[in-house]
Structure 1
Amino acid sequence: MINKAEDRLLECSLTNTKAGMQTLLGKRQKLPGFDQATTLICMEHTGLYCQPMVSFFYALGGDLWLQSAVQIKQSLGVKRGKTDKADAPSIATYSLRHQKDLRLFCLTDSVLAKVRQLASQRERLMEMAKQLTDIAQDYKAMGLVEELKLHEQTSELVLLALKKQIAQVDRQIDTEIKADRGLQTRVDLLTSIPGVGRQTALYMLIFTANFTRFDDPKKLASYAGVAPFAYESGTSVRGRTQVSPMANKKLKHLLHMAALGAVRVEGDLKHYFERKVGAGKRKMSVLNAVRNKIVHRIMAVMERGTAYTKVYAKIG
């Protein structure tokens, strides 16, 4: 814990539990002139591991700032090694020096929080099923008949159970969304966009905190890793325009699948893709442009609050 002059006021090691947070609060309250209302709590956004601190201090009315670990690391320059003890003062320093970028944490409604947890569970189940399926494919590709037979005998029931669990989680997600008219409406709006399916819509709502984290399609495109950036310097360096590797990889993958789906069905995005590729543009470059267009359509639909409608070009 530091003050405006970057003087270190408190440093301690605690368990990431409610009891640990209670201990931290007690230590803070003993500091001279401590005021909860003027204290900002900044932490790396690490998903599940943020939950104890978020739940405890948000309930007390604390100001919380969850920031990307990459953003914090890059802002503080080159550092060697990584430990919790070294990271803590770096995060505190970052929060003090970059308050112009402050975006206070706002707890999304309980339904979306539950949907996020269910979606994470679905991913874990899908990954376990994929591992078993991949092994079977490897045995088959190598012609290992006996090994494949044994694998299938020992994993058949497990795969069946995993598929049933995935289906059950999907039903739970649908039930939660249908019970909330606002979320159901947003899912319907998002899936009205060609190429955008249920999973893309869900994760868009999850990662944007119900579209409270982004108010600009360019920022969302950058976050999702589909915004092109120039690569040039002076008069001698002229690289291809490319996307940044720093992105939400899950969202980027979903948008990629959405773009693939959009260019395979009849519509303006398919015509755009075929026209650009026919003119000699690289397929991946054009496909990324389609991903970008989908992001812009997503933001437009959310801002308007109406389903996607095709805009026809004027004749004449």
Structure 2
Amino acid sequence: MNIKDTVGIDMSKLTFDARIHSSQIESEFQNDKKGYKKLVDWTYKNSELPKENIIFVFEHTGLYSDGLSVYLASKHIPFFLVPGLEIKQSMGMTRGKSDKADAKKIAKYAYRMRDEITPTKLSCKEEQSLKHLLSLRQRLVKQRAGFKASLKEQKRVLVKKDNKTLLSTQQKMISYLTKQIQEVEHEMMDVLKSNQSMLNNYKLITSIKGIGSQTALFMIAYTANFTKFKNHRKFASYSGIAPFQNQSGTSIRGKTKVSNLANKKIKSLLDLCAKTSIQHNAEMRIYYEKRVAEGKNKMSTINIIRNKLVSRIFAVVNRKEPYIDTMKYAA
């Protein structure tokens, strides 16, 4: 696509502001289908360039931006979803903040980057459903953990016969949330079964020792079923397990370390997988014990195992063959 004009959009719950870079015209619209149609008509009327050379650019703000994304995709209108932090860092030092100013910044940023922008492609319906269900499960698990923690503490310090309602109500909530979590998990499996490619990749990923169902589901959802990242190194960077150098000239010689810019949920899941692999995978356990015995840092060793697991996940998906544990064939 030959991008010659950009429309910056700052999304909010009920409305959004838009600014056309070429004409510097701005307007506000309702965050609904009528507003989306008005936005497109207004843009094509006020831009100085043909619609084939115009791209709409806005931040990925979850539910607030989903409606516009789906509408533009359904009309085959090119758009680009960009992380807010990327825009903020590209602008340098700024003073003040407003929706109109943010729309201007987004339009300016997109125009500067127009030669590098690739229009966003929405995930398929099953992938979007999987993301929503994973998010719901996270909230339910967090709520259940809160009830469990408070109930445990209250049982320790309170007299049971004097606080029956307090304790029994929380126990019922824990049981109810557990049931809801199980229902969500069943629904996620139904979603997988409705898409053969996703189901096949799920089976391939879980063939690796140490990789559980939740990690497999997150990998499928956040890699767009392994179409979003070219290789495991790109995904390692996204998930915050890729080490980066920290040095400059002769004065700065910092340790090589991972970045805080990451998908923290996937990083924590990979951490659990690495520790599970050390316990139940003979190959990983031997590797870990050998490095530790040599005096190597434990956390850096765990991070290497995280990367090994990610590499194996991408390998089995690319080969379309389950993982083979070669250790059991060793003499």
- After TM superposition, the score normalised by the length of structure 1 is 0.90
Q: Provide the residue aligned with 1:226 in structure 2.
A: 241
Who is 2:94 aligned against?
79
The partner residue of 2:131 within 110, 116, 125 is: 116
1:94 matched to 2:96:
no
* Structure number with higher strand proportion: 2
**Residue aligning to 2:58:** 43
Q: Who is 2:230 aligned against?
A: 215
Q: Is the 8 A contact 1:44 1:68 kept in 2?
A: yes
Q: Which moved more, 1:28-37 or 1:214-223?
A: 28-37
Matches within 5 A, 1:172-211: 172-211=187-226
The letter of the residue matching 1:167 is Q
1:232-277 Cα distance to aligned partner (Å, 9 max, x none) = 2222332221110000111111111111111111322221111111
Partner of 1:64: 79
| Aligned match for 2:144, one of 129, 132, 139 | 129
Q: Report what 1:25 is aligned to.
A: 40
- Equivalent residue letter for 2:26: E
Cα distance in 1 between the residues matched to 2:251 and 2:129: 52
CA distance in 1, matches of 2:249, 2:155: 53
State the Cα distance separating 1:157 from its structure 2 match.
Answer: 2.1
- The aligned amino acid for 1:60 is K
Going from structure 1 to structure 2, the CA distance change for 1:12 and 1:47 (only over 3 Å counts) comes to same
Moved more, 101-110 or 295-304: 101-110
> In structure 2, the residue corresponding to 1:99 is in which secondary structure?
coil
List per-residue Cα deviations over 1:27-60 (Å, max 9, x = no partner): 1232255533221111112222221110111111
Whether 1:306 aligns to 2:321 is: yes
Change (3 A) 1:236 1:133: same
Residue 247 of structure 1 corresponds to 262
> What are structure 2's unaligned runs of at least 5 residues?
7-19
- Contact 2:246/2:255 (<8 A) preserved: yes
How many angstroms does 1:174 deviate by? Answer: 0.8
Of 277-286 and 152-161, deviating more is 152-161
Is the CA contact 2:241–2:267 (under 8 Å) kept in the aligned structure 1? Answer: yes
Q: Tell me the SS of whatever aligns to 2:28.
A: coil
Please provide the CA RMSD for this pair: 2.6
Q: Deviations over 1:88-110 (max 9, x none)?
A: 12222222222344232222222
The CA distance in 2 between the partners of 1:127 and 1:202, in whole Å, is 18
Matched residue, 1:3? 5
| Range with bigger deviation, 82-91 or 210-219 | 82-91
Change (3 A) 1:138 1:238: farther
Q: Is the alpha carbon distance of 1:310 and 1:80 closer, same or farther for their aligned partners in structure 2, counting shifts above 3 Å?
A: farther
Cα separation, 2, equivalents of 1:14 and 1:282:
54
**Amino acid paired to 1:134:** A
In the alignment, structure 1 segments of 5+ residues that lack a partner are none
Amino acid at match of 1:9: Q
Match of 1:277 in 2: 292
Count of residue pairs the alignment pairs up: 314
Counterpart secondary structure, 2:107: helix
Q: Percent identity at matched positions?
A: 35
**SS at 1:49's partner residue?**
helix
Deviation at 1:183, TM superposition (A): 0.9
Does the Cα contact within 8 Å between 2:204 and 2:317 map onto a contact in 1?
Answer: yes
Residue equivalent to 2:14: none
